[in-house]
């Protein structure tokens, strides 16, 4: 979309520096509600990408533990640890974030930090 379209006019006196040139500004049409929705989706995608970059390793570890938990530990142990028959994903995710943070503090070289 061209916002400014130059239009050449016949010189008629006036300001010598700008004689013969006039710029007509085309009206910019907004997308309204669709544009606002697209902007919101773009912002949500950027926030989601940032969160994945920040917590990606913990998220993958929590998914792995969530899938493997019932095969490794008994329902009685799960009930004792979490107070439920299954391991809640958000608790496992927070546990993995905590373990990752402690590992970065205590073992900085093993996690790619130099």
Percent of the chain with pLDDT over 70: 68
Q: What is the band of 103 on the pLDDT scale with cuts at 50, 70, 90?
A: confident
| Token reading at 54 | 């920040």
Q: What is the pLDDT of residues 34-59, one digit of tens each?
A: 888 999 999 999 999 999 999 999 99
Render 12-47 in DSSP notation, one character per residue: -SS-SSSTTEEEEEPPPPP-HHHHHHHHHHHHHHHH
Q: Delimit the domains of the chain by residue range.
A: 4-108
Mean pLDDT of 49-73: 93
Q: What is the band of 18 on the pLDDT scale with cuts at 50, 70, 90?
A: low
pTM of the model: 0.59
Least confident of 30-39, 53-62, 85-94, 102-111: 102-111
């Amino acid at each position: 979309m061209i916002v400014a379209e130059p239009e050449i006019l016949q010189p008629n006196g006036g300001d010598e520096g700008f004689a013969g040139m006039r710029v007509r500004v085309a009206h910019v049409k907004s997308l309204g509600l669709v544009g606002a929705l697209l902007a919101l989706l773009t912002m949500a995608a950027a926030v989601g990408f940032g969160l994945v970059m920040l917590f990606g390793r913990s998220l993958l570890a929590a998914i792995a533990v969530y899938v493997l938990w019932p095969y490794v530990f008994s329902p009685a142990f799960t009930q004792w640890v979490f107070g439920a028959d299954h391991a809640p994903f958000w608790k496992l995710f927070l546990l993995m974030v905590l373990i990752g943070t402690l590992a970065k503090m205590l073992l900085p070289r093993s996690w790619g930090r130099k």
